[in-house]
Amino acid sequence: MGVEITTTRLEDAAKWAKQSTLEKATNWGRKFSLFSYPFVTACCGMEFMSVAGPKYDLARFGAEFPRFSPRQSDLLMVVGTVTEKQGPAVKRVFDQMAEPKWVIAFGVCASTGGFYQNYHTMPGVDQVIPVDVYIPGCPPRPEQVLDALILLMDRIQSGRGHSQLRDKREQLIASASSDEG
Amino acid sequence: MAQKVLDALKAAHGAAVDRTASAHTDEIAWIKRDQLLAVATWLKNDAAMLFDAPVFCTAIDWIDYRPLDRPPSEFWSEDKPRFTVAYQLRSSKHRHRIRIEIELPEADPKLPSLAGLWPAFNWQERETFDMYGIRFDGHPDLRRIYLYEEFVGYPLRKDYPKEKRQPLVRRDDLPMNPIKVAPMEHK
Ligand code: SF4
């Protein structure tokens, strides 16, 4: 025992990056069939509708099916201002989602709190859940959203999403301690 | 036009009215809080008044008040009443309006609730309580309306720290030994 892998240190990077063929194939499948759950709270929602609509068409990238139940989705899009009062709700939605799961913070409000700096707004949704990709902009252009989606797909393929890294870390800890034992 | 309203109010309840003012087509009467209920009942029911439409209820915190180019000491001192509660009323029958204001000291920010007379003030008074901590005596359900019950203090009071947050949840999944990043060297 006594194995502790808590950071992504440089010397570990090679270990982390190694993927079996099966993992590669699974991740390839995952990245083209994202089921998104839009957690829409504010004005950014308008821009989300425009990306999801026919003109910019999020569906071209395989993320075409917004599910309105977190249990059927694996991509949480936090779209808009999140207040401290909503914190428990966001966390609960995230906890209910199917593993492995990814989070996009859509707009400056969801990323950092934006121009709100006061008693009621959470300074970024990453205060309560891990975020994979942040999209700046108030609201972001649809092109930025598509760019973020492609970034996220790259991440999923290389296994660098938060929940994928966590699984990998657990695997490494398990294999390291079984090596010792 | 509605100066008539102020005159009638002073004739009927002269003792309850501190002072009156007219500004920007608004008629304002400052009312003593122990006679607020009597005055409000009269405003609602008197045939010449008939204020049937409650417009808003809010509060003002005067602590450290001053115009931008003047020192606060000229305008604000500890012994002045810190809060003002304002009710705006309108009559759809006579088409006149009035604002009644009640001044409250910091130590005892309490006044009778008007939610019994105008039910629309129910939530507005809850909001005023939520944001300023003004107590409305006789309110049917005086709880916070926007903020959560765990919240301590009243955020729209001017002495509430501007950036003080009171989070309900925070993350618990961060690594126990976070990476220490050495400061970057600029060449
Ligand atoms: S980032 Fe701008 S557009 Fe988006 S929710 Fe915040 S204020 Fe609204």
CA of A42 to the centre of ligand 1 (A): 7
Structural domain harbouring B92: 3-137
Is residue A110 in contact with ligand 1, taking CB distance under 6 Å?
Answer: no
Q: How confident is the model at residue A2 (pLDDT cuts 50, 70, 90)?
A: very low
Q: Are B147 and A85 inside 8 Å of each other by CB?
A: yes
Q: What is the CA angle A57-A58-A60, rounded to 5?
A: 80
Q: Do A127 and B178 touch (CB under 8 A)?
A: no
Any atom of ligand 1 within 6 Å of the Cβ of A46: no
Ligand 1 centroid distance, CA of A123 (Å): 13
CB contact under 8 A, B167 and A84: yes
**What is the interface pTM, i.e. ipTM, of the complex?**
0.74
Closest chain A residue to B152, measured at CA: A119
Longest dimension (CA), chain A: 58
Q: Which of A11, A119, A129, A167 to mutate to test the interface with B (most CBs of B within 10 A)?
A: A119
> What is the predicted pLDDT for the residue at A43?
92
The pLDDT of A46-60, averaged and rounded, is 87
pLDDT tens per residue across span A132-156: 999 999 999 999 999 999 999 998 9
- Measured from the Cα of A46, ligand 1's closest atom is 3
Question: Within a domain: residue B124?
Answer: yes
Q: Is residue B65 situated within a structural domain?
A: yes
Distance from CA of A9 to the nearest CA of B (A): 8
Nearest of A34, A2, A7 to residue A169 by alpha carbon = A7
Q: Å from B130 to nearest chain A CA?
A: 13
- What's the CA-to-centroid distance between A110 and ligand 1, angstroms? 8
Question: Does residue B177 fall inside a structural domain?
Answer: no
Q: What's the domain count of chain B?
A: 1
- CA dist B89 → A109, A155, A161, B3, B49 (Å): 37, 59, 57, 15, 10
Size of interface A-B (CB pairs under 8 A): 53
Using the beta-carbon criterion (under 8 Å), do A8 and B171 form an inter-chain contact? no
What band does B135 get if pLDDT is binned at 50, 70 and 90?
Answer: very high
Alpha helix positions (H), A60-141: 87-96, 108-112
Length of chain A: 181
* Banded pLDDT at A1 (limits 50, 70, 90): very low
Q: Which residues of A touch B165 (CB under 8 A)?
A: 84, 119, 122-123
Q: Are A32 and A92 in contact (CB under 8 A)?
A: no
Is the CB of residue A21 less than 8 Å from the CB of residue A162? no
Least confident of A25-34, A64-73, B155-164: A64-73
A121 strand-pairing partners: A83
Closest approach atom of ligand 1 to CA A107: 1
- pLDDT tens readout for residues B92-107: 998 889 999 999 999 9
Model pLDDT, residue B124: 94
Q: Where is average pLDDT lowest: A61-65, A82-86, B45-49?
A: A61-65
Query: Does residue B159 form part of some domain?
Result: no
Position B86 pLDDT exceeds 60: yes
Q: Is residue B55 part of a domain?
A: yes
Answer whether A180's CB lies under 8 Å from A1's CB: yes
Residue B152 lies inside a defined structural domain of this protein: no
Amino acid A129: pLDDT? 92
Task: Give the count of alpha carbons within 13 A of B9, CB side only.
Answer: 31
The residue that leads in pLDDT, A52 or A169, is A52
Mean confidence (pLDDT) of chain A: 85
Q: What is the pTM of this model?
A: 0.81
Question: What CATH number does the domain containing B130 carry?
Answer: 3.30.460.80
* A78 Cα–ligand 1 center, Å: 11
Give the distance, in angstroms, between the CA of residue A18 and the centroid of all CA atoms in the same chain: 21
Q: What is the torsional sign of CA B172, B173, B177, B179?
A: negative
| B185 domain-assigned | no
- Look at residue B171 and tell me if it is in a domain: no
